[in-house]
Amino acid sequence: MAYTIFTDDLNTLIDIASKVLPKKKFDEIKQKVIDNEKLTEKQKANIIRDAIIIYMRALAQPGEPVGTVAAQSIGEPGTQMTLRTFHYAGIVEFDVTLGLPRLIEIVDARREPSTPMMTIYLDEKHKYDEEKAKEIARRIQYTVLDAVVSEIEYFQGSNEFTIVLDPEQLEDKGVTVEKVIEALERGKLGEVVQTEDPYVITLIVSERLLPPEYYYDPGVYREIENKIRKVYLKGIKGIRRAVIQAEEKEVDGKKVKEYYIVTEGSNLAEVLRIRGVDHTRTTTNNIHEIAEVLGIEAARNAIIREIMNVLQQSGLDVDIRHIMLVADLMTFTGRVRQIGRLGIAGEKESPLARAVFEVTVKNLYDAAATGEFENLTGVSEKTIIGQPPPVGTGLVVWLKSRETEKPIEVAEKKKK
């Protein structure tokens, strides 16, 4: 489309530019052109005028099928994606779902990703010290007694269980023997007795759990052993593993290693409460969790970030605007909705539009049975009945609906 601006006055042009151009572009022009002393006034005016015209030309025109364009722009490179990848994402020891399965997962808005994962950044005091980082990782990782036990011995016919602790694991997990005893007492399994060996604990299981008539039932013993192994020691529920990662960074000209924690499993609300965690950067790959803890706008940003990540890791270059459109669409009801038949496509008002998408016959039956009304206004509906669809120039109509909404007048009446 052709645009022309009939003015050479620099100040008028700057005024137009500040209104028309997005802030980022205007700031750039201000810095490079307006504040540039080498340019004459006329040159400046010409540059700004051209910038405005080029920007206006690049805008999406009214009626442009941006959704279709976005779908194609993601779909075509998507065919190049690996169908099944379960490789780590540059992180040691971690399995992260990537590629097409992950993309589908995001767009389907699953409650739980197949590999929930958190990236926990640390605050100023903790991030440059490996020991301090480890300390936080230990506090976060969900630890049960099983992790520090080397053996549990018992004899049928007796209610004594001997628990042998592993000193190495105790140190690695940062748990003391006293803490284990405390945890066992809290578990209410029976009486805890310390022996001469500091790493051996005897547990006399209470009669409630092991009545004498079951003394020769191996199943009951196995159950009790499992219960002992599952006694909670420390950590946050849902965090199965926490691993320290390091990143080289430059701070004030010096090379420093910044430590952060990557976890298997996710629990954003609880992790943000831990002291020493950087609450401004810590994230998870579970989008529903972000929506719950940080709000719907944060979820939108997370969707964009996750999708862009997947695409970039597959080596695909898709413009971020298409992804932004998808994320906006997924969150515009205030909740994270999926794009498929159970979400956006399935919630369309027009029964024909729904029938076109998936499960045609069922949709038509249901619409007929419940007496739904078809307005015949959408693109799919118009195509079915053989009329020009409301896209591009087809959007322009001569007739005006009588039901035209008048928000402004309504609002003004209220004001009086």
Partner 1 sequence: MPSRARRRVSKKILEHELVPKHEVLSFEEAVEVLRRLGIPPNRLPAISVNDPIVQLLGAKPGDIIRIIRKSPTAGEAEYYRIVVAF
Cβ atoms within 10 Å, residue 318:
19
- Smallest distance, partner 1 to C-beta of residue 282, A: 8
Query: Of 39-47, 199-207, 296-304, 391-399, which part binds partner 1 (CB under 8 A)?
Result: 296-304
> Per CB under 8 A, does 208 bind partner 1?
no
C-beta of 165 vs 307, nearer to partner 1: 307
Say which DSSP state 393 is in: G
Quote the Cα angle for 185-191-195, to 5°: 100
C-beta of 45 vs 290, nearer to partner 1: 290
Per-residue binding letters, 220-259, with partner 1 (x by CB under 8 A): ----------------------------------------
Query: Of 102-110, 337-345, 393-401, 406-414, which part binds partner 1 (CB under 8 A)?
Result: 406-414
> Per CB under 8 A, does 296 bind partner 1?
yes
Site residues for partner 1, window 113-172 (CB under 8 A)? none
Cα(202)–Cα(195) distance, integer angstroms: 7
At residue 173, the 3 state secondary structure works out as: helix
276: nearest Cα among 95, 129, 149: 129
> Per CB under 8 A, does 69 bind partner 1?
no
Candidate list 4, 40, 79, 280; residue touching partner 1; CB under 8 A: 280
- Residue that the structure tokens 């005897």 belong to: 202
85: nearest Cα among 60, 71, 104: 104
> Per CB under 8 A, does 90 bind partner 1?
no
Site residues for partner 1, window 301-360 (CB under 8 A)? 301-302, 305, 320-321, 324, 328, 331-335
- Smallest distance, partner 1 to C-beta of residue 414, A: 9
Burial of 52 (0-12, 13-18, 19+ CB in 10 A): buried
Say which DSSP state 276 is in: T
Dihedral through CA 46, CA 47, CA 48, CA 53, nearest 10? 90
Task: Please list, in sequence order, all residues whose beta carbon lies within 8 angstroms of the beta carbon of residue 331, skipping any fewer than 6 positions away.
Answer: 291, 296, 297, 299, 300, 303, 337
> Per CB under 8 A, does 401 bind partner 1?
no
Specify whether the backbone of 376 is left (phi greater than 0), alpha (psi in -120 to 50) or beta: left
- Can you give the length of the chain in residues? 416
Residue/partner pairs of 400-409 with CB below 8 Å, 24 or more apart:
none
Candidate list 71, 294, 316, 367; residue touching partner 1; CB under 8 A: 294
Per-residue binding letters, 25-44, with partner 1 (x by CB under 8 A): x-x-----------------
- Smallest distance, partner 1 to C-beta of residue 159, A: 38
The site for partner 1 (CB under 8 A) is made up of 22-25, 27, 269, 272-273, 279-281, 283, 290, 292-298, 301-302, 305, 320-321, 324, 328, 331-335, 405, 407-408, 410-412, 415
